């Protein structure tokens, strides 16, 4: 930090040529809070689609013929695209000199890609049947699966294309005001919760397709038609918010320093991945600790985020995919649980600053909620065992059909969903805020800094996606083994947040950055 201050005052240690494009002087003052709110609101449109993806797509891909053991591999496209796309987009948006601004062209492009991807996913079954798949039945639909996978890849690329520049724009609008940066990320988390509430509410309503009756076809049953209708709603919401935000919030044209020198040295500029390595080398110890805690945190989150509604359908309600209505009832109950989760997350996201003060600082807040996450994931075992021991059956034509779980079991499962909203709000806000604040005191731009942080999110997702299916199959095909691994990772993450983050404490880092911003 001291070297950075000397370089700015004396220019004895100029930043590397590749990083000079990311420096603009003088720095503009923080924008009005309403502009930060407008940009943060884009998260509601993005998260509406993510809520549908998290709650409905795992059952949907299994209906297309992909077994539960292998469905987790579908999610590999997310971390792979995120590992490449978000850092690349962040890097190029840091130096974008478009007359529309640095971030807005990428945000607009990402929104258009999201719209295209969800249409492709929604019509996967129709395209598959039109190209030779058999409609209905339990057989695999290879053409529909291919279309779905392509659409899913595009959707994850588009989401990474969109969210990184949105968070970077929030940091740009906040200037060097660390409090405003934390507020922007808290608002982003709040609107993510709003989008989740809307998405899960839409996903839990079984007759939504009646508003768009053309979505139901001979290749697309009611479940598929509801998903398709939800996606059309998500497109309308995302496009409306994005157009309003990009129209009302203007960006200054980026003017890099030493532009003539940059033009002459452009052929010698490091390629992106070399630049990425340079950014990793320049990271301070607090940033490395941030990446470590974030990585373990997401190893804990991803098993639940991928299989939460499937857990409700299988373990809590005792249903089997494609056999009877009990599994679908469990999935809908899971969507209700996710909606409760989002309501709690939205309330908690507006109270993060107060919660941090109550806990004695950001690091203690993060450590506390990670331990809470571990407890909640462990509670899924108790809920499952109680559901199994108390399950009743009805017999018709010699076939035993499970009855819905008792009110106590269902209430316990929904309570787990709801309480998890507290650690989820902190997970969405605190790491990104810390990364943005720390990047203000380094030579790494906001976009590239958030791209580096994204690596700590997508790498755990790759591990979970690869291992959770075979791991569950090894222990009988359920979801509990992955949840147990998540609980252990959450506990370790919480312990490290209490210990490693204390040297130096993030609170001291934030104070130093705020002090530097005032000078």
Mean pLDDT comparison of 132-136, 311-315, 362-366, 487-491, highest-scoring range: 487-491
Domain holding 476: CATH number? Answer: 1.20.1250.20
pLDDT at 125 over 60: yes
**Mean pLDDT (the chain, rounded):** 76
Q: How many domains does the chain have?
A: 1
Rounded to whole angstroms, how far apart are CA atoms 135 and 144?
Answer: 10
43-52, 225-234, 428-437, 502-511: the lowest-pLDDT one: 502-511
Q: What is the pLDDT at residue 269?
A: 41
Q: 474 vs 63, which has greater pLDDT?
A: 63
Taking phi over 0 as left and psi of -120 to 50 as alpha, with beta for the rest, 434 belongs to alpha
Mean pLDDT comparison of 22-31, 55-64, 281-290, highest-scoring range: 281-290
160-164, 177-181, 191-195, 292-296: the lowest-pLDDT one: 177-181
**Is residue 237 classed exposed, middle or buried when 0-12, 13-18 and 19+ CB atoms within 10 A define those classes?**
buried
Q: What is the pLDDT at residue 431?
A: 82
| Average pLDDT rounded to a whole number, residues 476-501 | 85
Q: What is the secondary structure of 227-261 as a DSSP string?
A: HHHHHHHHHHHHHHHHHHHHHHS--PPP--TTHHH
379: Cα separation from own chain's centroid: 23
Residue 456, in any domain of the structure: yes
Give pLDDT tens digits for 59-92: 677 677 776 556 666 666 666 666 677 777 777 7
Percentage above 70 pLDDT, the chain: 71
Q: What is the pLDDT at residue 147?
A: 87
Residue 76, in any domain of the structure: yes
Q: What is the pLDDT at residue 384?
A: 93
Q: What is the pLDDT at residue 94?
A: 78
Q: What is the pLDDT at residue 517?
A: 33
| Average pLDDT rounded to a whole number, residues 357-369 | 84
CB environment 86-112: b (16+ within 10 A), e (fewer): bbbbbbbbbbbeeeebbbbbbbbebbe
51-55, 210-214, 416-420, 510-514: the lowest-pLDDT one: 510-514
Q: For residue 441, give its domain range.
A: 15-259+282-393+400-518
* pTM metric for this prediction: 0.66
Give pLDDT tens digits for 292-309: 889 999 999 988 887 888
Residue 270, in any domain of the structure: no
Give yes or no for a contact between 451 and 342, defined as CB atoms under 8 angstroms apart: no
SS3 388: helix
Confidence of residue 476 (pLDDT cuts 50, 70, 90): low
Residue 2, in any domain of the structure: no
pLDDT at 504 over 50: no
Taking phi over 0 as left and psi of -120 to 50 as alpha, with beta for the rest, 468 belongs to alpha
Q: 302 vs 373, which has greater pLDDT?
A: 373
pLDDT at 335 over 70: yes
| Average pLDDT rounded to a whole number, residues 26-51 | 81
Residue 4, in any domain of the structure: no
**Is residue 285 classed exposed, middle or buried when 0-12, 13-18 and 19+ CB atoms within 10 A define those classes?**
exposed
| Average pLDDT rounded to a whole number, residues 252-274 | 52
Q: What are phi and psi of 320, to 5 degrees?
A: -125, 140
Give yes or no for a contact between 22 and 94, defined as CB atoms under 8 angstroms apart: yes
Q: What is the pLDDT at residue 242?
A: 93
| Average pLDDT rounded to a whole number, residues 143-160 | 84
Q: What is the pLDDT at residue 439?
A: 63
Rounded to whole angstroms, how far apart are CA atoms 341 and 404?
Answer: 22
pLDDT at 191 over 70: yes
Residue 267, in any domain of the structure: no
Q: 149 vs 294, which has greater pLDDT?
A: 294
pLDDT at 515 over 60: no
Taking phi over 0 as left and psi of -120 to 50 as alpha, with beta for the rest, 220 belongs to beta
Beta strands in 377-510 (DSSP E): 393-396, 399-402
Q: 317 vs 436, which has greater pLDDT?
A: 317
Residue 269, in any domain of the structure: no
Rounded to whole angstroms, how far apart are CA atoms 217 and 229?
Answer: 12
Residue 10, in any domain of the structure: no
């Amino acid at each position: 930090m001291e070297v950075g201050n000397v370089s700015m005052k004396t220019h004895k240690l100029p930043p590397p040529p590749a990083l000079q494009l990311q420096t603009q002087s003088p720095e503009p003052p923080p924008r009005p809070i309403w502009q930060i709110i407008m940009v943060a609101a884009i998260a509601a449109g993005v998260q509406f689609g993510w809520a549908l993806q998290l709650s409905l797509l795992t059952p949907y891909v299994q209906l297309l013929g992909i077994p539960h053991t292998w469905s987790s591999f579908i999610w590999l496209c997310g971390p792979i695209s995120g590992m490449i796309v978000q850092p690349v987009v962040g890097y190029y948006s840091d130096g974008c000199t478009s007359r529309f601004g640095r971030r807005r062209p990428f945000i607009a492009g990402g929104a258009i890609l999201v719209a295209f991807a969800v249409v492709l996913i929604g019509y996967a079954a129709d395209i598959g049947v039109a190209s030779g798949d058999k409609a209905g039945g339990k057989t695999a639909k290879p053409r529909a699966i291919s279309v779905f996978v392509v659409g899913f890849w595009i959707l994850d690329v588009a989401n990474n294309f969109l969210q990184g520049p949105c968070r970077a724009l929030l940091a740009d609008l906040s200037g060097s005001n660390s409090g405003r940066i934390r507020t922007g990320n808290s608002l982003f988390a709040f609107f993510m919760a709003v989008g989740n509430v809307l998405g899960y509410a839409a996903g839990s309503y079984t007759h939504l397709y009646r508003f768009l009756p053309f979505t139901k076809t001979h290749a697309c049953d009611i479940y598929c038609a509801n998903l398709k209708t939800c996606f059309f709603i998500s497109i309308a919401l995302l496009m409306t918010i994005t157009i309003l935000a990009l129209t009302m919030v203007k960006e200054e044209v980026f003017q890099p320093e030493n532009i003539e020198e940059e033009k002459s040295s452009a052929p010698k500029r490091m390629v992106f991945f070399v630049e990425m390595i340079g950014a990793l080398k320049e990271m301070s110890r607090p940033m490395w600790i941030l990446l470590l805690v974030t990585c373990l945190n997401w190893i804990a989150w991803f098993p639940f985020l991928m299989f939460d509604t499937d857990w409700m359908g299988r373990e809590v309600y005792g249903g089997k995919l494609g056999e009877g209505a009990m599994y679908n009832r469990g999935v809908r109950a899971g969507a209700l649980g996710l909606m409760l989760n989002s309501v709690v997350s939205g309330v908690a996201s507006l109270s993060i600053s107060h919660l941090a003060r109550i806990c004695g600082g950001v690091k203690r807040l993060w450590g506390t909620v990670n331990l809470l996450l571990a407890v909640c994931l462990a509670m899924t075992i108790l809920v499952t065992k109680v559901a199994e021991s108390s399950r009743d059956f009805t017999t018709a034509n010699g076939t035993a059909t499970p009855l819905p779980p008792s009110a106590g079991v269902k209430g316990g499962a929904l309570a787990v969903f709801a309480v998890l909203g507290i650690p989820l709000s902190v997970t969405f806000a605190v790491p990104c805020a810390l990364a943005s604040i720390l990047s203000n005191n380094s030579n790494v731009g906001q976009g590239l800094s958030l791209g580096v942080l994204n690596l700590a999110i997508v790498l755990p997702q790759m591990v979970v996606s690869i291992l959770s299916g075979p791991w569950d199959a090894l222990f009988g095909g359920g979801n509990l083994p992955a949840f147990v691994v998540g609980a252990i990772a959450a506990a370790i993450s919480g312990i490290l947040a209490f210990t490693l983050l204390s040297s130096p404490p993030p609170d001291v880092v934030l104070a130093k950055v705020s002090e530097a911003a005032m000078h």
